A and B are shown apart, each in its own frame.
Chain A
Amino acid sequence: MTWVLVTVMVVATALSDLLQSYEMKRAGAQSVGARGVGRLLRLIVERRYLLLSIVCLAFSFFAFMALVQAAPLSFAVPASAASFILETVLAKILLKEQIGARRAAGALLVLCGLLALAR
């Protein structure tokens, strides 16, 4: 059951982030003042992919909630790091982000750190 929850969480998180990044880059720079938050909420309702990303996020969130109850937080949080590499690769392929040597090396260091935390 634990690994089913981890899988649901990782796939849903990756999908949600990719959709969010795609839509938010299209929407242009946003702020988080009172008006900014209102505008963000309106964006979520108006943009199909953002709405879908929230649905994905809900799946990932409930899987995470069940996971933190069943397993220690020190397992659940690093397990969610598994989506990290998947997302970085997909950001390059699908979102056409330029991941140079420095950013790739930094991401790998962070991953090593997350794995070291998990042990």
Chain B
Amino acid sequence: MPLSARTIRTYLLLLIFLALRAFGNLCLAWGTKHLPETLAADPLVYLRSMLDPAIALGIVMLILALLVRLALLSVADLSFVLPMTAVGYVLAALLGRFFLHEVVSPQRWLAVALIFAGTALVSSTPQSTTPPNAGRKVEGAR
């Protein structure tokens, strides 16, 4: 069976989202760890932290990730998108193992295998199951 345009679009959006979120989080974590101040309930400290280049870059990437995810939610169920995006954890473990030569413990590989099996199962279900009256009329407006 040939892949439908909607399916291809869903997986393409998923891929872009995962890449943006992974690098965005990396920048953010790296930036916040190097801050001199503690982030707490003080909004000023947050605003000042955004001047840090790593944090700013991380935020831009996460904003783009948010927009891509909105597009993803326009073509797929929330209960489909949530487990599918967990593939990000599998990617992180693989990237860490092969590019950063991190040691991945057996338990971590088991976790990765579980997540991968789960997403494989979910990917075999229809990506959108909500009743057709939920706004399909507007779909022509691309």
Min CB–CB distance B140 → chain A (angstroms): 8
What is B's interface to A at a CB cutoff of 8 Å? 6, 9, 13, 16, 28-29, 32-33, 35, 38-40, 46, 62, 64, 66-71, 73-75, 77-83, 86, 89, 107-108, 110-125, 128-131, 134-136, 138-142
B130–A28 touching, CB < 8 Å = no
Q: Is the CB of A92 within 8 A of B71?
A: no
A sample of 11 cross-chain residue pairs with beta-carbon separation below 8 angstroms, ordered by A number, consists of A27-B138, A30-B70, A32-B71, A40-B70, A81-B86, A96-B130, A98-B129, A103-B125, A113-B116, A114-B86, A116-B107
User: Is the beta-carbon distance between B67 and A37 smaller than 8 angstroms?
Assistant: yes
A102 near B78 (CB under 8 angstroms)? no
Q: Establish whether residues B33 and A69, one from each chain, have CB atoms under 8 Å apart when the complex forms.
A: yes
Q: A28-B138, A30-B71 are in contact. Are A102 and B115 (CB under 8 A)?
A: no
A29-B139, A62-B46, A68-B29 are contacts. A106–B71 as well, Cβ < 8 Å?
no
Instruction: Name the prevailing secondary structure of the A interface residues.
Output: helix
Q: How far is the CA of A24 from the CA of B39 in the complex (A)?
A: 33
Which of A50, A57, A113 has the most chain B CB within a 10 Å cutoff?
A: A113
User: Which A residues are in CB contact (< 8 Å) with B141?
Assistant: 28
A55 within 8 A of B: no
CB <8 Å contact, B131 and A102: no
Q: Which residue of B lies closest to A53 (CB)?
A: B70
Q: Is the CB of B83 within 8 A of A107?
A: yes
Report how far A36 CA is from B89 CA in the complex, Å.
28
Among all A-B residue pairs, the 6 with the closest Cβ atoms: A109-B118, A106-B121, A113-B114, A113-B115, A26-B135, A110-B118
With a cutoff of 8 Å between Cβ atoms, the chain B residues found around residue A43 in the complex are 70
Taken residue by residue from 5 to 32, chain A's Cβ proximity to chain B (1 for < 8 Å, 0 otherwise) reads as 0000000000001101100111111111
Q: Contacts A27-B135, A91-B77, A107-B83 given: A41-B67 contact, CB under 8 Å?
A: yes
